[in-house]
């Protein structure tokens, strides 16, 4: 993750000093200390989702300190350590916003590459400062370090929210986590804190040691080991699938017990193949989830602070960002940057 | 017909007098059935008389396998498919004596389910022949075992898709016998005693009381038969996936045996119902006959577009391959697309709609016995029955062809009681 500084103009990422709008009554100005590098930043920069508007300043795992507050801001004061995640606005009036589900508001505004309420583009956290509506800023708990805590603002909430929504918080239940990257490794830690038995499912056998010893997973399955996969058939209550590459769902569905749930969080660029028989014969389901609402994001941070959960990070300088993006693309690193 | 000797000889020709025949009873049985069905004589093999005797003795001693009409003490009669052509014809077989927990009943009607069609043609690769289909079976009790508590002679009863399960796993202890890994299907499955189960296209039925439901007197037997599969198959997911809330908007894809039941149940639960179909000519019946609130032609882009994000849930009854993306688009956020049709090939699952709207694609398969009884009682309370076309058993092959073309409103029901004996 990048320690921000004066922005530069590297090859693919247009670092930019964030627009200096006047602080509105609801706004909080933040000096950015750290910003996590999310795989979504990579997808966006390289226009892999086809919706990039350049210049594009990515970054939605932002930790910083408050430098200025608008006249209506009561929740924060100058000097507070705060976080900004994937959203910076929503309509505030629809049924989703009213239920603290801003992430499902049809008009929610993303932290970067989106259109803000005033018609201008939003620029994200690879920058030295940002101005955000107070409703989209969270307190960063004292117990959480800024650098290792930043990824929680996207990766953390992305796995925490479905664990709660799909009922994965009953101690003793068995959760499989597919993929041991930024999302996966945080998911292991949060799942263990919920008291779940965790099996990591990965295509890389060399990740077993870190899964078990470093992250505390209970077991490790190599997904292309047919024998081991067969032995695990019908053993899991839930699976969280963090893999964004196109991959087969059938073997994962078979790992679920009847009434099991497969929750997919990765965003592949092509549809996946869904075999119907296992769904019907076992009453299984495949669901999705997209980050979490602001209330839940704060709840998640407090939970992680309480359980000492942070991400495993590699801190980089701003000018190392393109190399970092390449490494992320090649998945050479063992966990999130 | 193949004589017993030829039958044994053919068994030996299959080359497999297994070392441990007890363990291979099912393969023996299947091999024996195939051999018997092929009939004819074997070229180039002669057995001495002594060898034939030995083979016969061996078979008598080692195999529990007998010809269908010799397996059990009660004479039974039905219509069976003999091979993958799926053509059904009269078939003599037998049923077990009424055990202490068993309920025996005279079958009066049996619904024809599309699964019967798949199974007679071995489309799922797991059919055993001769195959007597039928898992929407209703009739009147003739005898009950000594430990039976819930049923008496004269009661109207039904049996659906299952006749056994393990009783001890997590699913069974939670009234979810339908998800038990050892669940026994009503036909073409191996029962606890090693014999093959035969379904309801037959004159009598014997089932463990646990797998029998009581049909209230207020329900007409013929139009109730399809509830036992079609009914429970749509009732169960409406409840499990929380789509039974008054005011919810539920879509139903496909207007056949399952679809029309889904419309009726969803309306009774207080939902607003939209039927989604490829056939514009079904609109009239959907609205007027079934009281659906609206109708969407799935190939009409404008109609689909206008309905984007309006449904809390969709019950998809279509088993042919079809795209899921337009259906996920019809769902509101947190909406659920429930598949109950069973296609042969996988579907394409687009991930974006699931994530962006926290939507779910789930499946469901019939229902447990407790829920099946609950569903029948619900149907009685709300006057819900199936729309049917009653046919004599001789018409069954034609009915199968018509079912393949979806030419029925909406379920064929065989009038077993009045037509099966005369077809012997």
A197-224: per-residue pLDDT in tens?
999 999 999 999 999 999 999 999 999 8
* Phi, then psi, of A286 in degrees rounded to 5: -115, 125
**Residue A300 domain flag:** no
- The pLDDT of B127-134, averaged and rounded, is 95
More confident residue, B421 or B101: B101
How far is the CA of A288 from the CAs of A121, A122, A265, A276, B249, in angstroms? 28, 26, 6, 17, 21
The C-alpha atoms of residue A259 and residue B189 are separated, in whole angstroms, by 23
Closest chain B residue to A108, measured at CA: B356
Residues A147 and A163 in one domain: no
Among B310, B322, B339, which residue's Cα sits nearest to residue B250?
B310
Q: What is the dihedral of CA A163, A169, A171, A175, to 10 degrees?
A: -20
The C-alpha atoms of residue B364 and residue B161 are separated, in whole angstroms, by 14
Whether the predicted pLDDT of B26 surpasses 80? no
Residues of B in contact with A273 (CB under 8 A): 346-349
Whether the predicted pLDDT of A145 surpasses 80? yes
Whether residue B350 and residue A282 make contact (CB cut-off 8 A), yes or no, is no
More confident residue, A54 or B12: A54
Whether the predicted pLDDT of B278 surpasses 70? yes
pLDDT score, position B312? 97
pLDDT score, position B39? 43
Whether residue B356 and residue A288 make contact (CB cut-off 8 A), yes or no, is yes
pLDDT score, position B57? 59
Whether the predicted pLDDT of B41 surpasses 80? no
Residues of B in contact with A284 (CB under 8 A): 362-363
Residues A101 and A214 in one domain: no
Residues of A in contact with B353 (CB under 8 A): 288
For A111-124, the pLDDT digits (tens) are: 999 998 888 889 99
More confident residue, A48 or B405: B405
**Residue A310 domain flag:** no
**Residue A280 domain flag:** yes
- The pLDDT of A21-40, averaged and rounded, is 88
Question: Which of A1-10, A47-56, B15-24 is the most confident on average?
Answer: A47-56
For B390-418, the pLDDT digits (tens) are: 999 999 999 999 999 989 999 999 999 99
The beta-carbon neighbor of B352 closest among A267, A285, A289 is: A267
Q: Is B176 near chain A, with CB under 8 Å? A: yes
Residue B346 pLDDT grade (very low, low, confident, very high; cuts 50, 70, 90):
confident
Residue B65 pLDDT grade (very low, low, confident, very high; cuts 50, 70, 90):
low
Residues A166 and A210 in one domain: yes
The mean of the pLDDT values for chain B is 87
Residues A171 and A217 in one domain: yes
Within 10 angstroms of residue B46's Cβ, the number of other Cβ atoms is: 7
Residues A165 and A242 in one domain: yes
Residues A100 and A164 in one domain: no
The beta-carbon neighbor of B354 closest among A96, A278, A288 is: A288
Alpha helices in A27-75 (DSSP H): 39-45
Residues A118 and A99 in one domain: yes
pLDDT score, position B69? 83
For B279-302, the pLDDT digits (tens) are: 899 999 999 999 999 999 998 999
Whether residue B334 and residue A104 make contact (CB cut-off 8 A), yes or no, is yes
Residues A50 and A163 in one domain: no
Among A30-34, A135-139, B33-37, B212-216, the minimum mean pLDDT is found in B33-37
The C-alpha atoms of residue B251 and residue B311 are separated, in whole angstroms, by 7
Alpha helices in chain A (DSSP H): 39-45, 95-98, 146-149, 155-165, 182-193, 208-209, 226-231, 250-255, 276-282, 294-306, 321-330
The domain tally of chain A equals 2
For A275-308, the pLDDT digits (tens) are: 888 899 999 999 999 999 999 999 999 999 999 9
Whether residue A272 and residue B348 make contact (CB cut-off 8 A), yes or no, is yes
Whether residue B341 and residue A276 make contact (CB cut-off 8 A), yes or no, is yes
Residues A194 and A262 in one domain: yes
The C-alpha atoms of residue B308 and residue A93 are separated, in whole angstroms, by 20
Whether residue A258 and residue B354 make contact (CB cut-off 8 A), yes or no, is no
Asked if residue B226 lies in contact with residue B411, where contact means CB atoms within 8 angstroms, the answer is yes
Residues of B in contact with A280 (CB under 8 A): 339-342, 363-365
Whether residue A283 and residue B333 make contact (CB cut-off 8 A), yes or no, is no
- The pLDDT of A36-64, averaged and rounded, is 90
Among A213-227, B24-38, B322-336, B354-368, the minimum mean pLDDT is found in B24-38
pLDDT score, position A119? 87
For residue A135, the domain's CATH number is 3.90.180.10
**Residue A294 domain flag:** no
Residues A38 and A93 in one domain: yes
Q: Is B349 near chain A, with CB under 8 Å? A: yes
ipTM value: 0.76
Residues A167 and A63 in one domain: no
- List B residues 323-342 in contact with A (Cβ-Cβ < 8 A): 324-325, 333-334, 336, 339-342
Whether residue A274 and residue B346 make contact (CB cut-off 8 A), yes or no, is yes
The C-alpha atoms of residue B209 and residue A266 are separated, in whole angstroms, by 47
Whether residue A290 and residue B349 make contact (CB cut-off 8 A), yes or no, is no
* pLDDT > 90 fraction of chain A, expressed in percent and rounded: 72
Closest chain B residue to A278, measured at CA: B363
Q: Could you write out the DSSP letters of every residue in A281-311?
A: HHT-EEEE--S--HHHHHHHHHHHHHTT---
pLDDT score, position B273? 98
**Residue A67 domain flag:** yes
Q: Is B347 near chain A, with CB under 8 Å? A: yes
Among A117-126, B52-61, B124-133, the minimum mean pLDDT is found in B52-61
Whether the predicted pLDDT of B329 surpasses 80? yes
**Residue A283 domain flag:** yes
Domain ranges, residue A43: 27-151+315-329
Whether the predicted pLDDT of B40 surpasses 50? no
Is residue B340 classed as helix, strand or coil in its secondary structure? coil
The C-alpha atoms of residue A204 and residue A8 are separated, in whole angstroms, by 36
pLDDT score, position A334? 40
Whether the predicted pLDDT of A11 surpasses 60? no
- Integer distance in angstroms from the first to the last C-alpha of chain B? 17
Whether the predicted pLDDT of B62 surpasses 70? no
pLDDT score, position B43? 36
Residues A140 and A213 in one domain: no
Whether residue B351 and residue A284 make contact (CB cut-off 8 A), yes or no, is no
* pLDDT > 70 fraction of chain A, expressed in percent and rounded: 91
For residue A282, the domain's CATH number is 3.40.50.720
Q: Tell me which residues of chain A have a C-beta less than 8 Å from any C-beta of chain B.
A: 96, 101, 104, 165, 234, 249-250, 257-259, 264-268, 271-290
Whether residue A283 and residue B363 make contact (CB cut-off 8 A), yes or no, is yes
**Residue A100 domain flag:** yes
Closest chain A residue to B180, measured at CA: A258
The C-alpha atoms of residue A331 and residue A244 are separated, in whole angstroms, by 12
pLDDT score, position B23? 39
Among A143-157, B164-178, B318-332, the minimum mean pLDDT is found in B318-332
3-state secondary structure A91-151: CCCCHHHHCCCHHHCCCCEECCCCECCCCCECCCCCCCEEEEEHHHCEECCCCCCHHHHHH
Whether the predicted pLDDT of A16 surpasses 80? no
**Residue A241 domain flag:** yes
Whether the predicted pLDDT of B420 surpasses 60? yes
């Amino acid at each position: 993750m990048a320690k921000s500084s004066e922005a530069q103009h590297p090859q693919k990422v247009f670092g930019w000093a964030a627009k200096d709008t006047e602080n509105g009554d609801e706004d909080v100005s933040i000096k950015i200390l750290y910003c996590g590098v999310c795989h979504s930043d990579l997808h966006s920069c390289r226009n892999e989702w086809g919706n990039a508007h350049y210049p594009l300043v990515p970054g939605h795992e932002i930790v910083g300190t408050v430098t200025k507050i608008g006249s209506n801001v009561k929740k924060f004061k100058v000097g507070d350590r705060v976080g900004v995640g994937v959203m910076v606005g929503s309509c505030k009036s629809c049924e989703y916003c009213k239920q603290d589900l801003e992430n499902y508001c049809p008009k929610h505004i993303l932290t970067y590459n989106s259109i803000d309420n005033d018609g201008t583009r939003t620029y994200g956290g690879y920058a030295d400062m940002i101005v955000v509506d107070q409703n989209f800023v969270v307190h960063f708990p004292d117990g959480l370090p800024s650098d290792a805590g930043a990824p929680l603002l996207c990766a953390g909430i992305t796995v925490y929210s479905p664990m709660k929504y799909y009922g994965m918080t009953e101690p003793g239940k068995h959760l499989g986590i597919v993929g041991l990257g930024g999302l996966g490794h945080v998911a292991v830690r949060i799942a263990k804190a919920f008291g779940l038995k965790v099996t990591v499912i990965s295509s890389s056998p060399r990740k077993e040691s870190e899964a078990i010893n470093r992250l505390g997973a209970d077991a490790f399955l190599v997904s292309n080991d047919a024998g081991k996969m067969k032995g695990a058939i019908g053993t899991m209550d839930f699976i969280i699938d963090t893999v964004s590459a196109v991959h087969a769902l059938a073997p994962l569905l078979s790992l679920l017990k009847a009434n099991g749930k497969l929750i997919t969080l990765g965003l592949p660029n092509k549809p996946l193949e869904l075999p119907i028989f296992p769904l019907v014969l076992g009453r299984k389901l495949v669901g999705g989830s997209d980050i979490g609402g602001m209330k839940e994001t704060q709840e998640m941070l407090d939970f992680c602070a309480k359980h000492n959960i942070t991400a495993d990070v590699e801190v980089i300088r701003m000018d190392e960002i393109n190399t970092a993006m390449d490494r992320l693309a090649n998945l050479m690193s063992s966990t999130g940057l | 017909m193949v004589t017993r000797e030829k039958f044994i000889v053919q068994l030996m020709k299959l080359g497999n007098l297994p070392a441990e025949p007890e363990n291979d009873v099912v393969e023996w049985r299947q091999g024996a059935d195939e051999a018997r069905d092929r009939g004819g004589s074997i070229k180039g093999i002669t057995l001495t008389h002594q060898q034939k005797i030995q083979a016969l003795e061996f078979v008598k001693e080692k195999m529990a396998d007998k010809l269908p009409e010799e397996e059990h003490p009660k004479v039974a009669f039905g219509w069976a498919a003999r091979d993958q052509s799926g053509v059904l014809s009269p078939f003599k077989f037998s049923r077990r004596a009424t055990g202490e927990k068993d309920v025996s009943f005279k079958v009066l009607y049996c619904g024809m389910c599309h699964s019967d069609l798949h199974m007679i043609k071995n489309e799922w690769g797991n059919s055993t022949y001769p195959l007597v289909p039928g898992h929407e079976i209703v009739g009147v009790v003739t005898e009950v075992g000594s430990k039976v508590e819930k049923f008496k002679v004269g009661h109207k009863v039904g049996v659906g898709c299952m006749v056994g399960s393990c009783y001890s796993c997590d699913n069974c202890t939670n009234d979810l016998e339908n998800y038990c890994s050892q669940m026994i299907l009503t036909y073409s499955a191996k029962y606890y005693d090693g014999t093959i189960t035969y379904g309801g296209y037959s004159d009598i039925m014997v089932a463990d009381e646990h797998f029998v439901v009581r049909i209230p007197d207020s329900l007409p037997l013929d139009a109730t038969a399809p509830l036992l599969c079609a009914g429970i198959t749509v009732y169960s997911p409406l409840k499990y996936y929380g789509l039974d809330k008054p005011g919810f908007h539920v879509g139903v894809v496909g207007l056949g045996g399952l679809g029309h039941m889904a419309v009726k149940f969803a309306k009774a639960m207080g939902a607003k119902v939209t039927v989604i179909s490829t056939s514009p000519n079904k609109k009239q019946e959907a609205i007027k006959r079934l009281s659906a609130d609206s109708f969407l032609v799935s190939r009409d882009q404008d109609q689909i577009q206008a309905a984007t994000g309006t449904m809390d849930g969709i019950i998809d009854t279509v088993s042919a391959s079809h795209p899921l993306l337009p259906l996920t688009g019809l769902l509101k956020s947190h909406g659920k697309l429930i598949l109950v049709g069973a296609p042969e090939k996988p579907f394409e699952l687009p991930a974006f709609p699931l994530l962006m709207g926290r939507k779910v694609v789930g499946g469901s398969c019939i229902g447990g016995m407790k829920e099946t009884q609950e569903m029948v009682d619900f149907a009685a309370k709300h006057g819900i029955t199936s729309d049917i076309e009653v046919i004599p058993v001789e018409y069954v092959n034609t009915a199968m062809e018509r079912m393949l073309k979806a030419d029925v409103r909406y379920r064929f029901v065989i009038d077993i009681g009045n037509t099966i004996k005369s077809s012997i």
